[in-house]
């Protein structure tokens, strides 16, 4: 397995020389300054690749080549957007970058309600509180229909939080919700978020699936011709939010996506944290079922609460046995190698991490501290080495 590290380019407070000290081999990045829906010029891709190579890394995975939300809604000049996406894929392929991670979450990317929840032995983590999310929807946004999305107990707890929250508490919640957006993407206040949601008010699960299938039909054949692999990232969290449907949440959703257009170019980013937040998901079963479709993995752990809340645990703690997931991926690599597949290795990155030691002072992207992720990478490196040693001794 190839050790990767997510880097936000010019927007990142962590430098490539610092990342080199973690031992990671591959940089996972994107061109964050280019607006959604526009073409990624080959010369800009080449310059970024050269910058990365100058510090001893390769750039094997793009995360992400964003899908414009007009495609998700199914409105506007979609042919232009599809053509631009295909051209960006061609430009990436021309520079030797062959794996593209993307998601199909409408409007918002990953979503948390707390960015600095305290953890045992010090440090902080990202957390999703169902009570706070309900408070945002029911009492701050006053979203029509939101009451039917939450049980009475959660709604009551949300009201308690809202009634006692200060204006700073409420602003911190909105800030946390916005944190999953890319650095160059506009942030919203409550009124702005209300306005941003209006174009999606008629978007239901069936329509989003229909629009997703059209996207696959428009881009996957080109990806296959170019020798690329598209790898969809699961929804995070794996539940409907703000009245927006989520359609990449479990094994059945993944099966639908991979069968909607069968192609070696239609693959999966295995995110153990996103899928692990769904109590109905068996991560070992999912990893095994789709192992041959996984070019890229996010290895992360969560600890779930019965009410649907969760927090990000240390990589080898939490509810998912990451060692067994890694074992499945290593066995898949072995199978690919035995079949003669040239590119048999799976790129992974330690996804998110606790803020530890002086991470708090660096002002890095939420979830992407230096020390916390370096700890996670070191732990995962140890798991991989231990499994390899056990296999060699067998």
pLDDT digits (tens, 9 = 90+) for 196-220: 899 999 999 999 999 999 999 999 9
Cα gap 128→112, rounded to integer Å = 5
Q: Which residues contact 293 (CB under 8 A, 6 or more apart)?
A: 258, 266, 267, 268
Q: Are residues 122 and 106 in the same domain?
A: no
Q: Are residues 184 and 206 in the same domain?
A: no
pTM, two decimal places: 0.96
Mean pLDDT estimate for the chain: 95
pLDDT at 226 over 80: yes
List, for residues 178-187, the tens digit of each pLDDT value. Answer: 887 655 456 7
Percent pLDDT > 70 in the chain is: 98
Once rounded to an integer, what is the mean pLDDT over residues 277-295?
98
More reliable by pLDDT, 348 or 391: 348
Q: Are residues 331 and 382 in the same domain?
A: yes
Work out whether strand 124-128 and strand 114-118 pair parallel, antiparallel, or are unpaired: antiparallel
pLDDT score, position 186: 64
Q: Are residues 43 and 140 in the same domain?
A: no
Q: Which of 199, 228, 261 is the last residue of a domain?
A: 199
The number of residues making up the chain comes to 394
Q: Are residues 123 and 107 in the same domain?
A: no
Q: Are residues 176 and 315 in the same domain?
A: no
Q: Are residues 173 and 212 in the same domain?
A: no
**Residues classed as catalytic:** 233, 271, 298, 351-352, 368
pLDDT score, position 266: 98
pLDDT score, position 75: 93
User: Looking at residue 355, what DSSP letter applies?
Assistant: B
Cα gap 100→88, rounded to integer Å = 11
pLDDT score, position 182: 55
List, for residues 252-261, the tens digit of each pLDDT value. Answer: 999 999 999 9
Q: Which two tokens stand for residue 194?
A: 């209300």
List, for residues 7-50, the tens digit of each pLDDT value. Answer: 999 999 999 999 999 999 999 999 999 999 999 999 999 999 99
Q: Which two tokens stand for residue 212?
A: 């997703």
List, for residues 358-390, the tens digit of each pLDDT value. Answer: 999 999 999 999 999 999 999 999 999 999 988
Once rounded to an integer, what is the mean pLDDT over residues 90-105?
98
Q: Are residues 42 and 129 in the same domain?
A: no
Q: Are residues 48 and 191 in the same domain?
A: no
Q: Which two tokens stand for residue 141?
A: 């946004």
- Domain carrying residue 175: 114-199
Q: Are 273 and 265 spatial neighbours (Cβ–Cβ below 8 Å)?
A: no
In the numeric block, the tokens 């539940």 are attached to 239
pLDDT score, position 169: 96
**Domain count within the chain:** 2
Strand partners, 266: 230
Percent pLDDT > 90 in the chain is: 91
Q: Which residues contact 310 (CB under 8 A, 6 or more apart)?
A: 127, 128, 237, 277, 302, 303, 304
Instruction: Measure the CA dihedral 15/19/21/26, to 10°.
Output: -140
Longest alpha-carbon distance in the chain: 62
Rg of the chain taking only CA atoms, in angstroms: 20
pLDDT score, position 392: 82
Q: Are residues 218 and 81 in the same domain?
A: yes
């Amino acid at each position: 397995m190839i050790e990767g590290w997510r880097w936000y380019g010019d927007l990142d407070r962590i430098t490539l020389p610092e990342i080199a000290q973690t031992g990671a081999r591959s940089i996972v990045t994107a061109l964050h300054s280019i607006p959604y829906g526009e073409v990624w010029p080959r010369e800009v891709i080449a310059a970024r690749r050269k910058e990365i190579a100058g510090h001893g890394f390769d750039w094997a995975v793009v995360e992400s080549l964003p899908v414009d939300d007009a495609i998700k809604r199914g409105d506007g000049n979609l042919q232009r957007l599809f053509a631009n996406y295909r051209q960006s894929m061609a430009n990436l392929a021309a520079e030797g970058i062959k794996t593209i991670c993307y998601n199909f979450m409408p409007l918002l990317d990953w979503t948390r309600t707390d960015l600095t929840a305290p953890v045992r032995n010090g440090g902080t983590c990202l957390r999703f509180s169902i009570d706070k999310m309900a408070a945002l929807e029911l009492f701050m946004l006053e979203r029509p229909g939101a009451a039917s999305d939450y049980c009475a107990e959660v709604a009551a707890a949300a009201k308690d939080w809202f009634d006692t929250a200060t204006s700073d508490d409420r602003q911190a919640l909105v800030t946390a919700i916005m944190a999953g957006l890319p650095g160059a993407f506009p942030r919203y206040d409550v009124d702005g978020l209300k306005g941003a949601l209006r174009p999606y008010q008629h978007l239901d699960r069936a329509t989003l699936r229909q629009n997703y299938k059209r996207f696959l039909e428009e881009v996957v054949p080109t990806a296959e011709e170019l020798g690329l692999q598209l790898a969809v990232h699961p929804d995070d969290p794996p539940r409907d939010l703000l009245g927006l449907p989520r359609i990449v949440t479990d094994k059945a959703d993944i099966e639908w996506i991979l069968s909607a257009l069968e192609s070696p170019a239609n693959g999966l980013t295995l995110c153990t944290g996103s899928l692990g937040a769904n109590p109905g998901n068996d991560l070992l079963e999912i990893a095994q079922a789709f192992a041959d479709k996984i070019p890229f993995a996010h290895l992360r752990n969560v600890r779930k609460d019965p009410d649907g809340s969760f927090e990000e645990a240390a990589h080898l703690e939490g509810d998912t046995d990451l060692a067994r997931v890694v074992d499945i991926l290593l066995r898949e690599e072995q199978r690919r190698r035995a079949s003669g597949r040239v590119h048999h290795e799976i790129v992974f990155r330690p996804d998110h991490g606790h803020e530890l030691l002086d991470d708090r002072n660096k002002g890095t992207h939420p979830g992407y501290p230096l020390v916390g992720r370096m700890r996670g990478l070191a732990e995962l490196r140890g798991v991989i080495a231990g499994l390899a040693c056990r296999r060699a001794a067998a």
